Chains A and B, each alone.
Chain A
Amino acid sequence: MADSISIKSFTFRYPGSHRNALSEVSLEIQAGSCCAILGPTGAGKTTLLQAVAGVLGAHHAQAAANGHIQIGSVVHSPLPRSILFPRVGLFLQDPTVQISGIRDNVEDEVRFTLDNLRVGDEEAVQRVRIQLEELGLGMLATRPLSQLSGGELQRVALAGMLVASPPVLLLDEPLNSLDATAQARLLRLLATFRGRHTVVLTDYGIDAALRLADRVVVLSEGRVLYQGAPAGLVSRSEEFVDLLPADSLVRLSGLAGDERIPSPERRFFRKILGAL
């Protein structure tokens, strides 16, 4: 069952840093929904996901933090102090890091998670098989990991996380290293998670948010600039000219009737599109 996430006035500062990585962040994410966190590099997207997953609490015990993070009915004040897996699954930016490196083929690699959770043999085999089929990896089950492409490796890493059925799934820039085909495939897959997992994903652009998210959050320098439905972001696109990539703004301006972006930027984007 999916869990809701509630973050109240959460502030976090890394040890030795002079500025807050996150400042007074408050979010409500319903169980089974999908939330997209957008923003430029250094906005605090990864920090927020790591705080919810318990990575920050476990690895930066001396860091200054305020507020609280609630996952389901459990309140962590100010943040979880240990990694919450298998309740929360965090999928890192670089999928190759998430591959354990001590298993030889795809099914063994996915099973590594269940072995850690001490799941029995029969159940583990069954769950791995189902998970591989769901992610379209059934044909690759016995293939050595060294023979997989980047997109396939990412799906194996995702399978390794999903096989534990975490109620909350956090994906840190999952589209980052994928080509257009692999991105479309992953977005279709994530769409099937609705209701089963609460999905929070971060991204630079707006594509994933518009296709998947029930709720969009725009972060900049650790602060929430916008949160609400993706449609609301369309009507306020001019506020995010410096924060979102050009193609996202063009997309938003198109959705908003082409009058939302200030004229110099609009001319610039038209020039680019014309050149293309």
Chain B
Amino acid sequence: MTIGIPEKLALTLFLVVAAVTLPWNISALLIAALLSARTLIPALRPLDQTARRRFRKIFFVLLCLVAVMTAVNSVFVRSGAVWAEIAGIRLFEGGLLFGLTTGFRLLLIAAAFLVLFGSTSIGAFADYLNHVGIPGPIATTALLSLHFLDHLPERIQQIFIAQESRGAPLRGNLVARIRSFFLLLSPLVLSSIVESIERGTALELRGFHLGISLRTASGPGNRHWSPTTVALLAFSIILVVYRLTLWLIPSP
């Protein structure tokens, strides 16, 4: 079984649909399966150490977020029975379920995209988009955005260091960290605008406006969808239909 970009895109779509339509415990199982697949299947492994580190970092942050979200919801959304009482604080089942559902939904969607982009180079995406006939300007704009997102953590880190070296209070308690967000946001937006203009000009200076081509020397494979792609797309459709049916036909 070969896993190329069509299979990865179908897998991502399936996981997103599953995250939205299925209960949180299935999402948790799918996350575990995805993490295993990321280790076992070469095509899903991170391209380099940077991608590997980025996945770990973002996944860990999101996992913490899920834990916080679940705890906060179980305390403040007071529906259903009391699930537990810890140090006089009551945790409600309804809030717990809501927190878990929302948190694992977010985690599965994020993990799916992280695996997709961490294991696929922008050049390979370019090949594929060109192959399926996406118009050059649209595809290239999307790819340049991806390129920017790829460098975003590095850029944030640079701005973080720059602001900190000016004495900005970026570390410390939660309030300092929230404040630091605004200190980072302004230079990040400004530098993004400047870089977008420069990058656009640089592309024009290489004749991008004359005849757009995303093709690389290696070239893509054939146009047919593999059984894996078809199966994943079929599962996605089934899940959507199942969810719509549940929504449209009220239970007695």
Contacts and interface: CB of A to CB of B under 8 A. Distances in A.
Interface stretch (B87-95, B102-110, B120-128, B236-244): B120-128
Interface of A: 53, 55, 58-59, 83, 85-86, 89-90, 92, 94, 97-98, 100-105, 107-108, 111-113, 115-118, 125, 146, 160-161, 164
Contacts of A98: 202, 205-206
A20 B92 CA distance: 69
B217 interface: yes
Given A58-B204, A83-B204, A146-B48, A103 B210 contact: no
B206 A104 contact: no
B126 A103 contact: yes
Given A97-B198, A101-B144, A104-B216, A113 B207 contact: yes
A181 to B, nearest CB: 26
Interface residues of B, number: 33
Contacts of B166: none
A97 B143 CA distance: 15
Interface of B: 48, 50, 121-126, 140, 143-144, 147, 195, 198-199, 201-218
Contacts of A118: 210-211, 213
Given A94-B198, A101-B144, A116 B205 contact: no
Given A94-B198, A116-B211, A100 B205 contact: no
B207 A108 contact: no
B195 A116 contact: no
Contacts of B208: 116
Contacts of B205: 53, 55, 83, 85, 89-90, 92, 98, 161
B209 A83 contact: yes
B204 A92 contact: no
B146 to A, nearest CB: 9
